[in-house]
A and B are shown apart, each in its own frame.
Chain A
Amino acid sequence: MKRILVMIVLCTVIGCGFSGAGPKKYTELEFKKQIPWPRYKISTTYMENGVRFFLIEDHELPLIKVDIEVKGGRFLVPKGKEGLEYILAQMLRLGGCDKYPGDRLDLFLEDRAAEFSIDFDFINGSIEVDTLKNDFTTIMPVIIDVLSSPIFTRDKLELAKQRLKTIISRRNDRQDEVGIREFKRLIYGRDSIYGRIPTYESVDNITLKDVGWLYKRIFVGSNLLVGVVGDFNTREIEPVLKKWFSVFNKGEEIRFKFPKVTSPQGKRYIIDTQDTNQAFVVLGHLGDYRLNPDFAALQVMNLILSGGFSGRLFENIRTQMGLAYSVFGNFGCKRFYPGVFFVALKTKNQSVYQAIVAVKKQLKDLKYNGCTEKEVEDAKDQFLNSLVFRYDSPKKVLERRLYYELRDMPDDSFDKLINEIRNIHAKDVDRVAKKYLNVQGLDILVVGDKSKLDELNKIGKFDNWHLD
């Protein structure tokens, strides 16, 4: 059989008239040096009312995208009014403005194939507008109108509340959604500013006045970072943008100050989802800060532990043991408050105990035995060789810039990180693994059918974690 194959291969080669240019094994290949990626130029302008602009031209397609990042988000919402930031986002989008109330706004945009969305996260909000080049100057004034003089009506408040209550009623339907959310609450404290979530009661408490208050606190010039990318001419567009955004008052810039986090250690909880044949398991503890000098080494540790198909968790828990389809983790670092370190997986009821033991073994192994120089080199190659994808579109470059700007970080933060990662060695990863991984102090949350998980007793007692 093998010989026949060889003959066919030979015939084809001869038939095609190629002299000796047969398939090569990957080890025989030599590659040209990676072509340097284009460095897209970002023009920045600051207005007197505090609005900051970041513009990148990109003429490939006739599109213009605007990404407005606003300082202020969920962390501003007072206790007892949880869900307010969601209601504000919905009402801005549903209500529209004087000239274009909600439904007319939708028609206006969709007749022009334009997109407009508003979302709030913990520290910030994102407003995204995506228009065809030719419609940009027609559409943007309307968007500015919506953002600077929105219409908040009782009717739309009721609709937004109804939607949020429906979402609340459904938020416990999926194990992974429950597990990720409740593990964060376990780490940060369920009633802390980081852990609070909307309830029917808190939604009922929200008034039009509250919505107006949050809107006014956030939508001032000092909080607005405006990114624009697409098919435009910077010199032409800049004065127009400035004119549009001059309607915002300067206001008071939101300062990011957050309470200290006190996190439990070594706690074990279970959330009972009856009649499920698979459980969602999360293990972890508090992470660290983005400005920590060990950040670069921690990123390499992340790659070794859980980077794509090459990470240790994937290799051991999935490929070799066949315990899970989905296994992932990350040592999280946040700019203003500590992130979360976690490992999560989904496995059948019968192997939950085995999987927890296996994850702990991996973490212990990394912490006490460290990693090899080859692992570090491979992880660094993975990071450095794929860097081109971090720069492969002006939109990504702009997004990163806005990310740093919002967090008061220097605009060369990413370049610095790259250089730091270049200089990481096994000993650095070993050191941070030892320092930051706390295997004894791991909190564990299991979301699964309690009646089928008796084996968990071998680890210890699991208390019930109740859902809101």
Chain B
Amino acid sequence: MKYMLGLFVLIFFVAFNLNVYAKSQGQEFIPMKQIQDKVHSFKLENGMRFVVMERGDSPVVSFVTFVKVGSVDEVTGHTGIAHILEHMAFKGTKDIGTKDYKKEKSLLKQVDQAYREFLYCKYSGTDKSRCQSLENRFHKLLTEANSLVIPNEFSKIIEKNGGEDLNAATSTDYTIYHVSLPANKVELWFSLEYDRLTNPVFREFYTEKEVIREERRMRVDTSPMGKLLERFRSICFLAHPYSHPTIGWDSDIRATTISDVKRFYKTYYVPQNITIAIVGDVDFKEIKRLALTYFGHMKKGKNPPIVWTIEPPQDSKRDITVFANAQPMYIRGYHVPGYGSKDFLVLEVLETILSGGRSSRLYKDLVLEKRVALSIAAFNGYPGVRYPCIFGIYAIPNKGVSLNTLSQAIDMEFEKIEKKGVQEEEIERACTLEKGELLRELESNLGMARELAYAQAIYGDWKRIFLDIDEMEKISPKDIQLVIKKYFINSNMIEARLLNKHEKENNTGN
């Protein structure tokens, strides 16, 4: 990922590059045992899981709340709802952010009702003047409700207490909230997080949706890369909800109401679907006590629904072209299995062999030798890993190089691997690199908390961060060759091209 231009907005779409593994070979340079000894995990009776790491010389602590719900859990008509909920989680509670909750509560009900009436009128499209008056009524109620709000009070409390890294992100597979606090403020986090998980109030909802629509314009509509990725993703999956844009389609964002989000929150924000990771200058016993004192009171809910849809096998190559006011870019992908399949870790190693570092195959060949690309990156597990997903390759051509030349150069590299395989030492190097990356991740409390929460919630056990290393050690050049033969075939491929619309006419080599 390092050699991309930084315009690859994975931050939002995949949230963080959490798929970090380390592989031990040769000298043991990660003090695995020591690290594992500092991690403790426990589960409350209601199913909420905690992973705690006692660490560090500095009196600071990072907190991650990881909810296993993302855009893959959304249904048509309500794409973007997981992300809307993430924004709403900063709007306060019954106690925080309001001048008069009782009054506000009834007003919010009316606001939502008024919006729904306006929406139905608009979609039925008959009586324009009635729609207008419904819209006016909605705005009037909205202004009234907003007048009772103390804006951003929740965030202000945290910032006033010295909180840093206050933010959240939504991805296909999950929603994550994080903050770091001075070590003497641990209980402040418990109190606030408990309050917002159990008593959230979705105030300023309709104003915030406008903010989110601006976010969409920023990340997708006016971002060449964002647009290309959205289109790419939507043709990768005909049936499976991995096709949903995490930010949501604009019409869906507009049509979502407070009661929709409430329902979504009640369905997915149940304790057994939440993992908390805490890393820093803490005492495990004290954390356990606080966890019981606060989250022990959360009621276990029903298990969240299952995603039933299975993507039917792709039988022929797909492609899409996007024209924009920008220079060309290229993405291709192949359907591959998600986490839990035995091929998953092989593909992770392949990703690094292809583009991890300057001595990787694609970087060396396309960037340094053939000089057709400014940057290139392979990415496994797109847009998530909970279900079968995509192994992608993304490339920016050098000036004057056509996308066909670029894609042929990629083809040639795959042919080479298919025929001759990879060297044992490439696998070793890939593992060394991954291991170094993991070691550096350990330097930050927040980074470590994200890793632990992700591994616990998505892989089922935080220890997988380390256990998978053993699995990866066993991978042979033959395994790599087999996955290439199995998945990297023409009929399993999806291509997306971004072309400059002004050069459309004379761009024959698309």
Contacts and interface: CB of A to CB of B under 8 A. Distances in A.
Interface in B307-325: 325
B101 interface: no
B211 A322 contact: yes
Given A166-B399, A320-B146, A325 B188 contact: no
A373 interface: no
Interface in B169-228: 180, 182-185, 187-188, 190-192, 194-195, 204, 207-215, 217-218, 221-224
Interface in A155-197: 159, 162-163, 165-170, 173-175
B364 interface: yes
B159 A308 contact: yes
Contacts, number: 238
Nearest to B59: A35
B156 A319 contact: no
A34 B59 CA distance: 8
B162 A386 contact: yes
A378 B31 contact: no
B212 A325 contact: yes
A95 to B, nearest CB: 12
A385 B161 contact: yes
Given A103-B359, A386-B163, A61 B399 contact: no
B510 interface: no
B57 interface: yes
Interface in B359-388: 359, 364, 368, 371, 374
Nearest to A447: B222
Contacts of A314: 152
B120 interface: no
Interface stretch (B234-242, B336-344, B433-441): B433-441
Contacts of A38: 57-58
Contact of B217 (A130, A169, A277): A277
A126 interface: no
Contacts of A132: 29, 436, 439
Contacts of B294: 23
B156 A310 contact: yes
Contacts of B364: 103, 106
B188 A308 contact: no
B155 interface: yes
A403 to B, nearest CB: 19
Contact of A388 (B182, B188, B218): B182
Given A21-B293, A347-B214, A382-B160, A322 B187 contact: no
B187 A29 contact: yes
A75 B509 CA distance: 41
Interface string A386-412: 111101110100000000000000000
B56 interface: yes
A321 interface: yes
Interface string B135-168: 0000000000010000110011101111110100
B224 A162 contact: no
B54 to A, nearest CB: 13
Q: How large is the interface on A (under 10, 10 to 19, 20 to 34, 35 or more residues)?
A: 35 or more
Nearest to B26: A111
B357 A26 contact: no
Interface in A315-333: 315, 318-326
Interface in A16-38: 16, 18, 21-26, 29, 31-38
A175 B222 contact: yes
A420 B327 CA distance: 49
B398 interface: yes
A326 B371 CA distance: 36
Contact of A23 (B191, B224, B439): B191
Contacts of A335: none
B198 to A, nearest CB: 9
A134 B214 CA distance: 49
Interface stretch (A5-13, A45-53, A453-461): A5-13
A188 to B, nearest CB: 24
B52 interface: no
B233 interface: no
B215 A18 contact: no
Interface stretch (A206-214, A249-257, A268-276, A282-290): A268-276
B160 A378 contact: yes
Contacts of A360: none
Contact of A319 (B27, B60, B151, B212): B151
Interface in B382-408: 396-399
B296 interface: yes
Contact of A310 (B59, B155, B357): B155
Contacts of B429: 107, 110-111
Contact of B188 (A29, A62, A63, A277): A29
A275 B207 contact: no
A22 B152 contact: no
Interface centre among A38, A310, A324 (most CB of B within 10 A): A310
B293 A162 contact: no
Interface centre among A60, A94, A307 (most CB of B within 10 A): A60
B432 interface: yes
B327 A173 contact: yes
16 contacts: A12-B297, A23-B190, A26-B188, A29-B187, A31-B184, A33-B184, A38-B58, A63-B439, A103-B359, A103-B368, A115-B436, A132-B436, A274-B325, A319-B207, A320-B146, A385-B182
Interface of B: 5, 7, 27, 29, 31, 56-60, 90, 95-96, 146, 151-152, 155-157, 159-164, 166, 180, 182-185, 187-188, 190-192, 194-195, 204, 207-215, 217-218, 221-224, 281, 292-294, 296-297, 299, 325-327, 357-359, 364, 368, 371, 374, 396-399, 429, 432-433, 435-437, 439-440, 442-443
- The 9 tightest CB contacts between A and B, nearest first, are A385-B162, A113-B436, A322-B210, A309-B155, A325-B215, A278-B217, A173-B326, A392-B58, A35-B59
Given A31-B185, A35-B59, A392-B60, 9 more contacts: A26-B192, A34-B184, A35-B184, A278-B214, A319-B151, A322-B208, A346-B218, A386-B159, A393-B443
